[in-house]
Homo-oligomer: A and B are copies of this chain.
Amino acid sequence: MKFKKRTHTCGELRESNIGENVVLNGWVAIRRDLGGVIFIELRDRYGMTQIVFEPSHNQALHEQAKKLRNEFVISVEGKVRKRPEGTENPNVPTGNIDIVADNLIILNSAETTPFPIEDNIDVHEDLRLKYRYLDLRRAEMQKSLLLRHKMYLLTRKYFDQNNFVEVETPILMKSTPEGARDFLVPSRLHKGKFYALPQSPQTYKQILMVAGLDRYFQIVKCFRDEDLRADRQYEFTQIDVEMSFVDVEDIFEIVEGLMKVFFKEILNKELQTPLKRLSYDEAMEKYGSDKPDLRFDLEMLTLNDVLQKTEFRVFKEAIENKGIITGLLAKGCGDYTRNQLDVLTDFVKKLGAGGLIWMRVKGNELEAPIAKFLTEEEKTNIIKKLNAEDGDLIFILSGNKYKTLSYMGSLRLEMAKRMNLINENAEPQLLWVTDFPLFEWDDETKRYYAMHHPFTSPKVEDIPLMDTDPSKVRARAYDLVMNGNEIAGGSIRIHNADLQAKMFKTLGIDEKEANEKFGFLMGAFKYGAPPHGGIAFGFDRLAMLFAGRNSIRDVIAFPKTSSGMSLMDDSPSHVDENQLKELHIKVR
C-alpha cells in the first residue's frame, strides 16, 4: 500500500498553516455525518485534527469516506482552512483549523474495539491488559508513558552532569536467595546449574566501587518472585546509585538534587531542601510507620512518661516490659457512637492488637470504660499531653514497642480517612527516615535478618552491640519517603572484609555459606575497597506518583496481573518438551 509521507502530525497545524496542502496519517478517532458532510477527528500520538469530506468539494471522495469507521488507519491529503466561525474547538490546539480532504487512502481497517479509546473508561483491567495495544492508544496512558520517558531522560542527564557513569550489570547472575525468592534460569551447558535474575545489582554496584568507578548509576530491571500487589510487579525498574568516599550526607545531597529536578521539570514546583529528616524511632513514635504520609498532621504521642507509675495493669505491663503506650487524638470525634468505636476496635484487632482503649473528652473529664483505673492526675496529664479539648476522642494502645506503634500507625491512617484529612492535591511531602535498626528478629526461624540487606554498615558507635544486643544496632541506612510511599532506600555499605564476616555471623550465615554466596565480594574487599554507599529508587512507583496514578500498572507498558500472567500474549506458557530436555530439567 503506497501512501504519502506525512507533512505534519495530527497535533501540529495552526492558523499559520491555513492555505497549505498537507498530508496527515493517523487513526479515525471520531466520525460524524452532519448535514451530508463527513467530519473525521484524525488522531495520532501528537494530537487530533479535524478532516472534512464535503460532497460538493469531491463527490467520489465523500463516497469513499463513508466507509470509514473508528480506528481505521488512513492517510489524508488536503488543504488547511480556517474553521467556519462558531465551529472552532477551543479544547484542542488544532481547534481553529480543519482540513478539506482531496485524497484518502485507507491503510488498514479495524474491527469494533472491545472498549472505547477514551480516558476514564470503566472497563475491567483484565480486558485492558488483554488488549493492551488498544488501552495504550488512550491519551492518559500515552501521557503516562511519555512522562516515564521524560523521567528517564531527566535522571540520566542529572547523573551524567554529576559525573556518574551508567554501567549495565548482568541479568544472568548468581542465585543468592537472601531476601526475596529468586527467579531461576536453567543452564544448558552446565547441567543442573542455574542462573538467577537479579533482585538488585547490589553486589555488582559494590564491585564497581572496588573497581574505582567512583560514581555509578543505572536504570535497571530487577526481579523478585514474590506475590504481587498494586504497587509490585515481578519485574520492576530501579534507579540504582552507588558512590565512593561518601557518607550519608553526600548521598542525601545527590538524591535531593534529583528530586529538585523532578519537582521543577514535572510539577513546576520548587522543592525546598534539605529535606526533613526523622529517625526510624521518631517516625514510628509520631506516625507509627517508617514511611509516614506528612500531607496531614494527626501525630501520635508516647504516653509512657505520664503513665510511668500507673497501677492500671495493661499500661503497667507495657512499661515493665519496656513496651510503649501510645496515644492518638481524634479532634472533634467525641461523638463517635459505640458502634463506630467497635468497628475501629475490630480494625486494630485484625492487625494483631489485643484491643483498643478509647476515651471521650467531656469538659475537663475523660469518659471511658477504663477511666476508673486511672488516677485523676493521670487523666489530667493525658489530656494535657495530647492537648485534648471538650468533644475530642482519644485512642490509646500499649504493648510491644514497634508492633504497637505500627497498629496505631494504621489506625492513624484510617482516622485520617474518616476525618477527611487526606487531600490528594496537597503539596507532595518528602522526608528522609534514618537510623533504621540493622537487624530484625524473626520469631519463626529464630534468627536475625538484615532489615535493609547484609551489606549495610552499622553505625560505628554501635558495632560493639553486634556481639551483645544486635537488636539495638542502628544501621547507616535511610529511606526516602513521598506521600507515605517509600520511593528510595539505601545505606552506607560495609567495605571491610572482617566487618562483613562479622555481619554474616550475626545473621547466622556460616563461613562456608558466606563464602559460596558472597566470597567474591569479600575477596574484592581485600584488594583495596573504598568506603562507599548508595541508594536505589523504585522507578515505577516514582513514575506513578509523579503521574498522579494509583497503580504502577498504569505507568508500565506491559504489566503482569496479580498472578504474574501477561494476558495479552498468554504467558507464562507450556513449552516444548525438547526445550526442557536441552536444559536438563523436567516438570515434577
Q: Which residue of B211, B495, B566 is within 8 Å of A136 (Cβ)?
A: B211
Chain B CB within 8 A of A167 CB = yes
Taking a contact as CB atoms under 8 Å apart, the answer to whether A189 and B563 are in contact is yes
Of the four ranges (under 10, 10 to 19, 20 to 34, 35 or more), the interface on chain A belongs to: 35 or more
Q: Which residue of B170, B527, B582 is within 8 Å of A133 (Cβ)?
A: B527
Chain B CB within 8 A of A485 CB = no
Chain B CB within 8 A of A160 CB = yes
Chain B CB within 8 A of A347 CB = no
Render A509-537 as a binary contact track against B, CB cut-off 8 A, 1 for contact. 00000001000100011111111000000
Distance from A234 Cβ to chain B, minimum over Cβ atoms (Å): 6
How many angstroms from the CA of A113 to the CA of B583 in the assembled complex? 38
Chain B CB within 8 A of A296 CB = no
Taking a contact as CB atoms under 8 Å apart, the answer to whether B165 and A146 are in contact is yes
Chain B CB within 8 A of A177 CB = yes
Taking a contact as CB atoms under 8 Å apart, the answer to whether A177 and B208 are in contact is no
Decide yes or no: A6 and B177 within 8 Å by CB, A237-B168, A584-B587 being known contacts. no
Q: Which residue of B187, B250, B528, B570 is within 8 Å of A572 (Cβ)?
A: B187
Q: Which residue of B145, B169, B183, B579 is within 8 Å of A182 (Cβ)?
A: B579
Taking a contact as CB atoms under 8 Å apart, the answer to whether A221 and B109 are in contact is no
How many angstroms from the CA of A165 to the CA of B145 in the assembled complex? 8
Taking a contact as CB atoms under 8 Å apart, the answer to whether B73 and A530 are in contact is yes
Taking a contact as CB atoms under 8 Å apart, the answer to whether A181 and B188 are in contact is yes
Chain B residues with CB below 8 A from A108, complex form = 495-496, 525, 528-531
Q: How many copies does the complex hold?
A: 2
Chain B CB within 8 A of A264 CB = no
Taking a contact as CB atoms under 8 Å apart, the answer to whether B170 and A235 are in contact is yes
How many angstroms from the CA of A440 to the CA of B479 in the assembled complex? 56
Q: Which residue of B110, B203, B520, B563 is within 8 Å of A527 (Cβ)?
A: B110
Chain B residues with CB below 8 A from A165, complex form = 45, 145-146, 149
Taking a contact as CB atoms under 8 Å apart, the answer to whether B175 and A528 are in contact is no
SS of A interface (majority): loop
Decide yes or no: A564 and B207 within 8 Å by CB, A108-B496, A213-B45, A495-B108 being known contacts. no
Q: Which residue of B111, B175, B197, B225 is within 8 Å of A171 (Cβ)?
A: B197
Chain B residues with CB below 8 A from A263, complex form = none
Taking a contact as CB atoms under 8 Å apart, the answer to whether A531 and B152 are in contact is no
Render A537-574 as a binary contact track against B, CB cut-off 8 A, 1 for contact. 00000000000000000001110100111101111111
Distance from A236 Cβ to chain B, minimum over Cβ atoms (Å): 10
Chain B CB within 8 A of A441 CB = no
Taking a contact as CB atoms under 8 Å apart, the answer to whether B588 and A581 are in contact is yes
Taking a contact as CB atoms under 8 Å apart, the answer to whether A210 and B133 are in contact is yes
Taking a contact as CB atoms under 8 Å apart, the answer to whether B528 and A72 are in contact is yes
Chain B residues with CB below 8 A from A46, complex form = 214
A71, A108, A197, A565 — most chain B CB neighbours (10 Å): A108
189-242 of chain A: CB within 8 A of chain B: 189-197, 203-204, 207-208, 210-215, 221, 223, 225, 234-235, 237
Chain B residues with CB below 8 A from A110, complex form = 526-528
Taking a contact as CB atoms under 8 Å apart, the answer to whether A575 and B194 are in contact is yes
A-B contact pairs, 16 of them (CB 8 A): A5-B245, A45-B212, A45-B214, A107-B530, A134-B527, A136-B213, A149-B165, A149-B166, A170-B560, A170-B566, A174-B572, A181-B188, A184-B579, A184-B580, A185-B572, A586-B586
Q: 4 closest pairs, A vs B, by CB?
A: A110-B528, A136-B211, A174-B571, A193-B572
